[in-house]
Amino acid sequence: MEYLLTNYSRILKEVGTHIYIILLSLPFSIILGVVTGIFAARRPRLRKVVIGVANVLMTIPSLALFGFAIILLAPINAGIGVPPAIFALIIYSLLPIIRNTILALHSVSSGVVEAAKGMGMSSPQILFKIQLPLALPLLMAGVRNAVVMGVSVTTIAYLVGAQGLGYFLFAGLSRTRGDMVVIGSLLVALLGIGANYLLFRLENLLTPKGVKLQQGVKK
């Protein structure tokens, strides 16, 4: 509590930086993951390749991925700081978002899709007016997983100069300051829980009432 009270301005700054990095990477992660998932859902061969590549990317240790990002972004003078953190977050977010997008689209009843075709709806209309609204809960679950994972990955991004809550963990360990480590750990955990809750509320707000009723009947 003493450290919290005497360093609250630094704490607020690092929390803001942490959230800023996640918010910068999230739109790219969602767009790339959902679009890739939509294309892969309709093509079995492509689906196997995409899921395989995403699985391989997930197995890369975070420090190795940050090292690769530094080398890749160094020619444009963006190898240190926020850019490699955003790069790593996008890579790690791909698997849960792509996988859940594919599962979500496949969860929509084929009878519903055929009925929409019978009404004369085009493929884009079926996708945006039928499939995506019905698949939204499962799709959002992938986004929630990606964001919560991103909270922890952003912590490690401190090692490449991105700042954020990793400051309290790594600086605390190097200085043998238990209070800094505890504060950092608690803030990362609370941020992950808070992000998951807010996205769950957003999912509940965006999900059509008919889908909510159907989920209630299944439960």
Residue 217 has pLDDT above 50, yes or no: no
Which amino acid does the sequence have at 89?
Answer: L
- Beta carbons within 10 angstroms of residue 12's beta carbon: 10
Compute the distance between CA of residue 55 and CA of residue 96 in angstroms, rounded to an integer. Answer: 10
Tens digit of pLDDT for each residue in 70-118? 888 888 877 787 888 888 888 888 888 888 888 888 887 778 778 887 8
Contacts 24+ apart (CB under 8 A), 171-180: 179/2, 179/3, 180/3
Output the CA angle 200-87-199, nearest 5 degrees.
5
Tally of domains in the chain: 1
Binned at pLDDT 50, 70 and 90, residue 214 comes out as low
State the Cα torsion 50-53-54-60 to the nearest 10°. 180
Tens digit of pLDDT for each residue in 116-129? 878 878 887 888 88
Encode 71-91: b = buried (16+ Cβ within 10 Å), e = exposed.
eebeeeebbeebbbbbbbbbb
Tens digit of pLDDT for each residue in 3-38? 777 778 888 888 888 999 899 888 898 899 888 888
Would you give the DSSP letter of residue 160? G
Domain CATH code at residue 97 = 1.10.3720.10
Output the CA angle 19-187-16, nearest 5 degrees.
25
Question: pTM for this structure?
Answer: 0.80
- Give the model's pLDDT for residue 210: 59
Domain limits for position 151:
2-218
Distance (Å) of CA 92 to CA 66, 117, 212, 219: 11, 36, 30, 32
